[in-house]
Amino acid sequence: MKINWFTVIAQVINFLVLVWLLKKFLYKPILSAIDEREKKITDKLKDADAQKATAQKDQDEFKKQQEDFDQQKKALMDKAVADANTQKQQLMDAAKTAADGLRTNMEKAAKEKQENDNKAMSGKIQQQVFAITRKALADIASISLEEQSANTFNKHLKELKEEEKKKFIDAFKSNSNSILVQSAFDLPAKQQGEINDAVNVLLSADTHLQFKTSPEIISGIELSTNGYKVSWSFSEYLNSLEKNISETMKENAQPEQEKK
């Protein structure tokens, strides 16, 4: 078979021209479109990654803000609980203080009432003792209670111990112009003179006494000068009697309380 080289060469040329044409007008635009599309896709992927990173950052910030908010909320709750506990304790302390004050006031009022009752009973006892003593003295010695009290006080002055005498003399020397004699009753002039004589002998000096009536001394006589005091009265006997009566009243009150 004989080859027609002209035809072969012409076909080769046609093929090359066709390839060049395809490359120039078909492949190159297609490749360019593909490259452009790949670039757009890459840019979109980059934008998506950037948006994803931004979204992740926003999410992290929101999470951090949420955690901060939770911590602040917890701190506020803890503070509110602590303040409530503190206020509760303050209210309890105030209530306790008020209760203690009320109990103290009630105890004070009860004590004052008891003291007033004791004073009232003591006054009645004193009146009864005075009446009985006056009657007894009048019956056995025909002597008044006032005179007997003055005599007993003079005897008490004469029987002072040396230590008591020294204290009395020292007090008198430091303020010799103030010797006060108080009695629960008005002393007659005779008894005043006897007491003055007894004091002069005790102090080895000429003294002038100031006499004053003080019913609270409870039928007795009290001599004082510059803080030193010599006294005699029925107080000790009355106190002993009052103590015995108080103990008896308590003993009588206990069975009644046990019955209740």
82 or 122, greater pLDDT: 82
Has residue 74 got a pLDDT over 80?
Answer: yes
pLDDT recorded at residue 246: 64
pLDDT recorded at residue 138: 46
Has residue 139 got a pLDDT over 60?
Answer: no
Contact 211, 192 (CB under 8 A): yes
Q: Does 213 map to a domain? A: yes
pLDDT recorded at residue 236: 57
The domain total for the chain is 1
Q: Does 38 map to a domain? A: no
Q: Does 220 map to a domain? A: yes
Q: What predicted TM-score, i.e. pTM, was given to this entire model? A: 0.38
- Give every CB contact of residue 138 below 8 A, 6+ residues apart in sequence: 144
136 or 214, greater pLDDT: 214
> b vs e for 127-151, b when ≥16 Cβ sit within 10 Å of the residue's Cβ?
eebbeebeeebeeeeeeebbbbbbe
CA-nearest of 219, 214, 231 to 125 is 219
Q: Per the structure block, which two tokens stand in for 257?
A: 């309380």
Question: What are the phi and psi torsion angles at 66 (to 5°)?
Answer: -65, -40
Q: Does 139 map to a domain? A: no
Has residue 242 got a pLDDT over 70?
Answer: no
Question: What type of residue sits at position 160?
Answer: L
Q: Does 228 map to a domain? A: yes
pLDDT recorded at residue 135: 57
User: Poorest-confidence range of 134-143, 178-187, 221-230?
Assistant: 134-143
Question: What are the phi and psi torsion angles at 207 (to 5°)?
Answer: -115, 160
pLDDT recorded at residue 219: 60
Residues of the domain holding 170: 144-249
- The pLDDT tens digits for 170-224 are 888 776 567 888 887 788 888 888 888 888 888 888 888 888 888 766 667 888 8
Query: Which residue in this structure is represented by tokens 């007491």?
Result: 195
CA-nearest of 188, 174, 183 to 227 is 174
pLDDT recorded at residue 187: 81
Q: Does 183 map to a domain? A: yes
Distance in angstroms (rounded) separating the CA atoms of residues 23 and 30: 9
Q: Per the structure block, which two tokens stand in for 186?
A: 């008005």
